[in-house]
A and B are shown apart, each in its own frame.
Chain A
Amino acid sequence: MSTPVFSVEGLWKVFGPKGDRVPGDPELTALEPAELRSRTGCTAAVRDVSFDVHKGEVFVVMGLSGSGKSTLVRCLTRLIEPTAGSIVIDGEDVRAMDKTRLRELRRHRAAMVFQHFGLLPHRTVIDNVAYGLEIQGLGKAERRARAQEVVAKVGLEGMEQRRPAQLSGGQRQRVGLARALAVDPEVLLFDEPFSALDPLIRRDMQEEVVRLHSEEGRTMVFITHDLSEALKLGDRIALMRDGRVVQLGTPEEIVSHPADDYVREFVRDVAREQVMTVRTAMRPGGCDGTEHPGALDPDEVVADAIKVVARSGRAACVVEDGRCLGVVDHERLLGVVAGTEPKKEAV
């Protein structure tokens, strides 16, 4: 694995009077959220969270409303000051940064996209997109030119002179995305960027993000409360509940091996064949042949394997680098769909 871009260790955020005594007090940290609130008047929005975000991956944080996702993502650039723990970006301690350094971080290294867009209503689209560059002190001509490129990239050509009020929700969020992209940040942070949008537009925007990611390979931290969005976009998913990360893993790990009943309930209705890969479904061991009927890639999802198997009417081989890893047949595939597949075995 590549080096982590963000490395978060034991992060706490406690809102309320004298919140900083909570993380260090084992008696208080053991309390349930409701109990903590009634005892101390504090809300622990983020509790002892640790994770790494690797270069080039889409790291999704998901959880129900109030689970502390927004607070967590804001702590990363200290828009909300963390109470305890450490945050390291590229080996540099974020919590130790002084004002100037922090501003540098926000200006060049991490840019955020907001749920309700956060656009400046009195500026045109192009000036909103160029806003981050303006803050950095770039000249007008240069920032306009760079903003123009980004506007084109997110598909907003021809709307440069409009104001946010004259745009649809989806278009506004494209402006928000463009504004974040314009400063060419190392990491993009998204806080439920699409939850205010209609389902169809949401899907468009999700595809836009997938496209941007595959074209540029930018590291992304993506907050959502929508499981299908998380599964669609995430390379890895951290599932939050009441401020804690209850499970962290790839979509497949989460769907196939829920860490507890909470997660299990969460993923119950997921179309498993869309998430699980052939690698998990196959029966290990070669096919002892050279033809490799079917010849499926191990990272393909089960739904695709079903098509192949159904069409040919017989078991298909799973092939990686010309080597046969195993076979999938009707029985194995049905097992995945029904959720009765055998526990994961070493590959």
Chain B
Amino acid sequence: MATVTASAPRVGLPGVLKHRAAQKLLLLALLAAVLVPLADARWASGSWPHALTVDVSKPLADASDWIIDNRDSHPLFLYFFGYISNAVVLCVRAVYLLLLAAGWAGVTAIGAVVAWRVAGVRLAVGTAAAFLACGLLGMWVPTMQTLALMVVAVLVSVLVGLVLGLAAGLSDRFHRALRPVLDTMQVLPAFAYLLPVVLIFGIGVPAAVLATVVYAAPPMARLTALGLRGADKEVLEAVESLGATAPQRLLTARIPLARKELLLGLNQTIMMALSMAVIASVIGAGGLGDRVYQALASVDVGAALEAGIPIVLLAVVLDRITAAAGERAGEAPGSRLAWLYAAVAAVVVALAGRLAGRLDWPDSWTVNLADPVNRAVDWMTAHLYSGVPVVGGTADWAGHFTTWVLDPVRSGLQWLPWWAVLLLVAALAWLIGTWRTALTAVLAMAGIGVLGVWKPSLDTLSQVLAAVAVTLVLGFATGIAAARSDRFERLLRPVLDVFQTMPQFVYLIPVVALFGVGRAPAVAAAVVYALPAVVRITTQGLRQVDPAALESARSLGASSTQQLRQVQLPLARPALLLALNQGVVLVLAVVIIGGLVGGGALGYDVVFGLAQGDLATGLVAGAAIVCLGLMLDRVTQPTQRRTKGGV
């Protein structure tokens, strides 16, 4: 009896689904049959009809001019934004000076000591080595600039995230209101945040810090709320039964119980802040990101690498330290005395450096990496770019990829009538998700048309589609291989770990070295960036398939390919859809940044708008990026995510 009821839905489900999918498509076809002739008769045009666009660039330009004219006089700026801006500058400056005053020896010692207390000796050595490497590469000052900006941005992000998260953790209503906002912010590419802050604060450190805060605060808020809500109910009941007041309950139970999530939130916030602090170099963040940005602008791979390596080192070190803190959250805290000794040791080192007159990193201790790297790149350009027998050169590959994949996809998309694109979006989103997600996706896509950036958006979309296709093929293949071989997975894991911590920006460096500039390198960077997440989710999904189901398939004599095709892949479908969704979101983020290396389209519009002070163009492109991000997320959003309620 029990088995009958348990297995009935499983057997019945695909049939019902197919049935429902057919129903949805039928309904959509009916709707299209009525609406399309009407729309086509009225606005016959392949691209988005001009009559349906709203020219927002004029009012935007006016607004931006007004802000620029009034920035120094209007009370709103003088007494509100002005204060914020000054405070940010002051804080960053103060932290920067503090770091410089500690000297390179002091900063290295402090970093190592913190790593030692939080995560053990190995990480302490690694941290020290990472800081010394930054100095050796001649990047001490930019590293400190980036660090100063990060410290301020992370502090503010954590504060904002904590406040929002506490509110959402304690109030259901606030949680319901905040959740969709955070969900949406999570899928938007970093570039979309830049222009609004620049509009208000102008290019400079305040804008960079605030953009970073807006980008990095959501994970903290989300995880704080999650931690507070996930607390063991019985523990809270026990606390209540002992007569705790609401503040006591919060401070002695709810917050400590959420410690793991809080530390994970801190980890994610720091990583996102680093990623954004580097990208924000295009709006005046300075530091390491700026070096990479300048170097990429002149296609100087060596210089870009010199600044890129410290970024990666910072990312890995920060990630490991905060992750270790999270893992140790359940254990007994270390003794205070050890912290005291550690602090004293760090101060002694800093003072010693000061007395020895060696605050700045000595010039003679730097290694010139740029020249050899550039020579290697030159050699590559000469020998590997093209005409290598049999395999062809990397530039040839890029060229072929552009001509044979990117161009056809782009012209195909742009050839499609506008209503056909909307229809496709609707059909896909509805098949995978609900009518709600479909509606949002269609509205977002229509929004792009209304903004008048239909063509460049389809260009971006074509790059995203190509990159996602490549990512999925490689990612699923690798994921399946990793799920089937423990050895391979063990080998792969550290690689994925490192790749997942690296900021988006640094992925541009190697692809420029290999493929030059253009759309193909942007796609390549996007693929490399999105691949680790896709591989990881696929592997996990396949490995979590109910062992009993696999066992029974094996007992029926299924071969291992049959097991994979008939049991594992179908059962891992939710995970695969999630991988698709993540892949799309990550790919979009980097394809947009690809505007910096010749990716063109929307990303380029943003960069162009920033560079030329033409904020209106940039803002329209930014809005289109938001719409595109929303559309892509909703199209690939499985129904489950709404109900799951996880991170």
Which chain A residues have a beta carbon within 8 Å of chain B's beta carbons? 74, 77, 79, 102-108, 111-112, 114-122, 124, 131-132, 134-136, 163, 165, 176, 179, 183, 189
Q: Which among A79, A104, A121 is the interface contact of B241 at CB below 8 angstroms?
A: A79
CB atoms of B240 and A132 under 8 A apart:
no
Q: A195 to B644, alpha carbons, bound, how many Å?
A: 31
CB contact under 8 A between A106 and B234, given known A120-B253, A120-B257, A122-B256: no
Find out whether the CB atom of B257 lies under 8 angstroms from the CB atom of A135: no
Q: Nearest A residue to B240 by beta-carbon distance?
A: A79
| Minimum CB distance partner of A104 in chain B | B243
Known: A120-B256, A122-B257, A131-B252. A112 touches B238 (CB 8 A): yes
> Could you list 14 examples of A-B contacts with CB < 8 Å?
A103-B243, A106-B240, A106-B242, A115-B234, A117-B238, A120-B235, A120-B252, A120-B253, A121-B235, A122-B257, A124-B332, A135-B242, A135-B243, A183-B242
A134 CA / B249 CA spacing, docked (Å): 12
Smallest beta-carbon distance B588→chain A, Å: 40
| Complex-state Cα separation, A108 to B241, whole angstroms | 11
Question: Closest residue of chain A to B256, judged by CB?
Answer: A122
Contact in complex: B243, A79 (CB < 8 Å) = no
Query: Which B residues are CB-close (under 8 A) to A163?
Result: 330, 332
B 249-281 contacts with A by CB, 8 A? 252-253, 256-257, 259
Complex contacts, A134 vs chain B, CB 8 Å: 252
Contact B234 A118 (CB under 8 A): yes
Nearest-neighbor residue (CB-CB) of A133 within chain B:
B242
Q: Is B371 an interface residue (CB 8 A)?
A: no
List of A residues within 8 angstroms of B237 by Cβ: 74, 79, 114, 118
CB distance from B242 to the nearest CB of A (A): 4
The 10 closest A-B pairs by CB, nearest first: A118-B238, A107-B243, A106-B243, A132-B242, A118-B234, A112-B241, A103-B243, A122-B256, A118-B235, A135-B244
A208 to B418, CA, bound (A): 78
B residues apposed to A, CB below 8 Å: 232, 234-235, 237-245, 248, 252-253, 256-257, 259, 330, 332
- Residue of B at shortest CB range from A128? B238
Q: Give, as a whole number of angstroms, the nearest-CB distance from A194 to chain B.
A: 15
Cα distance A343–B259 in the bound complex, in angstroms: 62
Residues of the B chain whose Cβ atoms lie less than 8 Å from the Cβ of A112: 238, 241
CB-based contact A107/B253 at 8 Å: no
Report the separation of the CA atoms of residues A117 and B238 in the bound assembly, to the nearest whole angstrom: 8
Q: Residue A122 contacts which of B238, B241, B242, B330 (CB distance < 8 angstroms)? A: B330
**Which of A115, A116, A136 lies in contact with B243, CB distance below 8 A?**
A136
With A and B bound together, what is the CA distance between A74 and B253 in angstroms? 20
Q: Is A114 touching B243 in the complex (CB atoms < 8 A)?
A: no
Q: Which of B241, B245, B252 has the most CB of A within 10 A?
A: B241
Q: Do A165 and B330 touch across chains, with their CB atoms under 8 A apart?
A: yes
CA distance A106 to B237 in the complex (A): 12
Apart from A106-B241, A135-B243, A135-B244, list 11 A-B contacts with CB within 8 A. Answer: A104-B243, A105-B243, A111-B241, A111-B242, A117-B238, A118-B234, A118-B239, A119-B235, A120-B252, A124-B332, A189-B241
Task: Give bound CA distance, A30 to B330, whole Å.
Answer: 51
Chain A residues within 8 Å of B243, by CB:
102-108, 132, 135-136
Distance (Å) between the CB of B231 and the closest chain A CB?
10
Q: How far is the CA of A136 from the CA of B248 in the complex (A)?
A: 10
B234 touches A121 (CB 8 A): no
- Rounded to whole Å, the gap between the CB of A69 and the closest CB of chain B is 15
Q: How far is the CA of A179 from the CA of B238 in the complex (A)?
A: 10
CB-CB nearest in chain B for A109: B243
* Structural contact, B245 and A103, CB atoms closer than 8 A: yes
Nearest CB to that of B238 among chain A residues? A118
A327 to B238, CA, bound (A): 51
Q: Give the distance to chain A from B326, nearest Cβ to Cβ, in Å.
A: 14
Cβ–Cβ < 8 Å partners of A124 in chain B: 332
A132 nearest in chain B by CB position: B242
Note all chain B residues with C-beta closer than 8 A to A107.
Answer: 242-243
With A106-B241, A111-B241, A122-B256 known as contacts, the answer to whether A135 contacts B248 (CB < 8 A) is yes
B336 → A minimal CB distance (Å): 16
Give the distance to chain B from A75, nearest Cβ to Cβ, in Å.
12
- A282 → B minimal CB distance (Å): 45
Assess the A122–B259 pair: CB atoms within 8 A. Answer: yes
B330:A114 contact, CB within 8 angstroms? no
